[in-house]
Amino acid sequence: MLRYFTVLILLAITLFLGGCLRDHLDPDSAWRTLAGLPTSPPLFMVDLQGNLYAGTGNGTSPALLTKLWQYDFATNTWKAKKDFPGKLESGLTYFTVNDKLYVGLSTTGELNPASSFDLEAYSTDIYEYDPATDTWQTVVLPTPRLGTGATSLHFGEKGLSLWGTYRTPANTFVRWNQDGLVNDAINGWQKATITILGTSTFPMTSDQPLNERTLYSVLRKKGFGFSIGNHVYTGGGSVQRSGTFDPFYQHDALQKEVEAHDLYEFEGTETGTGLALVVSNQSKTPATGYDLTWAHQAFPLKNTGYIITSTGQLISFTPGTSQWHTYNALGNRFTVGTSLNEKAYFINQDNQLLEYTPN
């Protein structure tokens, strides 16, 4: 009898320790905790050649992109890759094309010496990382009219960068870019044009044409974007406001409503010389419990877009059913996320990597 109980106790201890040594798995929500990043919070995470890569800062404020890490699924560890050679902070453009990573178009954390107005210095460079050789190189862009805070995303096999702000040639004023660039392995860099048609009229001054009234609700700085099929979805960030032209003058409540709840859908068409995006629909989040203001992280998975808000909340939107959903996984606040092999991966406020398997 004593031997019987001893065996049971040993079996119970073995099962208990086995459960402790496994990655934490929540069977109700299909969340799994993986290895933590051994450094400061990440600025982005991407799927590159079937692997997770994360770019992290240098632990200062402003946080400058310094390190690149690759997650090893076999050992549940992060491996340091070649350090980033440039100067970029949050608001950078990033995407992967043809098994390479592209990052760039951001402020540098320094003041522009050519400006007498203490304006931040912009980097108009795009950097290309090749995982096959673990090397970085600078890529020449076809136009200087790109800068910080662009909305970047994948469109099929292409990388897309929209809007954001740029400097005038004299480096004295900030201007909003009303279009963008698209990149693919065959054609390189081409122009992405935006057409605003069919969106609702906003209650601004009556002498402004429809396109002008709606354009500045669509344009975003440090917003998010994702694509499903040939449709692009954008929102979050902030809309344009300036002293010389303020489309939201005396409409502060409207501005907050647009930033917090509007999601724009574009139909994308390849033109041979670039990409044409036409606004085809405008959706709104539920009134309470959802706030897209300054959200700038999003990605698609199984016909659903996953959005990380500025407070770290995770929101999803499924265009086919117009269904919105919020998540409260393991009490986490998320910083970055991406999809890989029909699963979603996030890094939380503690730099912990989490895996989510949707139903």
Domain contains 119: yes
What is each CA distance from 168 to 48, 144, 151, 191, in whole angstroms? Answer: 34, 9, 20, 19
pLDDT of residue 201: 45
pLDDT of residue 64: 86
Residue 42 pairs with which residues in a beta bridge?
Answer: 56
Residue type, 53: Y
Give the pLDDT band of residue 141 (cuts 50, 70, 90).
Answer: confident
- Residue 280's CB: how many other CB atoms inside 10 A? 15
pLDDT of residue 77: 97
pLDDT of residue 122: 77
pLDDT of residue 27: 45
Note down the domain range covering 352: 31-356
Q: Provide the 3-class DSSP secondary structure of residue 17.
A: helix
Q: What is the pLDDT of residues 152-186, one digit of tens each?
A: 999 999 999 998 887 665 656 677 887 888 999 88
pLDDT of residue 275: 93
33 phi, psi to nearest 5 deg: -90, 125
Domain contains 1: no
- Which residue, among 145, 127, 168, has the nearest Cα to 44 in the 3D structure? 127
Domain contains 322: yes
C-alpha to C-alpha distance for 346 and 339, rounded to whole angstroms: 9
Domain contains 15: no
pLDDT of residue 171: 58
* Strand pairing class (51-56; 174-176): unpaired
Q: Provide the 3-class DSSP secondary structure of residue 32.
A: strand
**2 or 229, which is more confident:** 229
- Most distant CA pair in the chain, distance: 93
Domain contains 12: no
**244 or 208, which is more confident:** 244
Q: What is the pLDDT of residues 4-62, one digit of tens each?
A: 444 334 434 333 333 332 333 444 458 999 999 998 889 999 999 999 999 998 777 67
pLDDT at 198 over 60: no
In this structure, what token pair is assigned to residue 344?
A: 């979603």
C-alpha to C-alpha distance for 162 and 176, rounded to whole angstroms: 10
pLDDT above 90 coverage of the chain, percent: 50
What's the average model confidence in pLDDT over 128-144? 89
What's the average model confidence in pLDDT over 277-295? 92
Domain contains 24: no
Residue 275 pairs with which residues in a beta bridge?
Answer: 192, 270
* Whole-prediction pTM: 0.85
In this structure, what token pair is assigned to residue 36?
A: 């933590």
If one counts the domains in the chain, the total is: 1
pLDDT of residue 283: 93
pLDDT at 207 over 80: no
Residue type, 25: L
Domain contains 14: no
What's the average model confidence in pLDDT over 190-208? 60
Q: What is the pLDDT of residues 98-111, one digit of tens each?
A: 999 999 988 777 76
For the chain, give the mean pLDDT: 82
**271 or 109, which is more confident:** 271
Give the pLDDT band of residue 325 (cuts 50, 70, 90).
Answer: very high
Q: Which of 172-181, 195-204, 224-233, 347-356 has the lowest mean pLDDT?
A: 195-204
Domain contains 19: no
Q: At 168, which CATH number?
A: 2.120.10.80
- Residue 192's CB: how many other CB atoms inside 10 A? 24
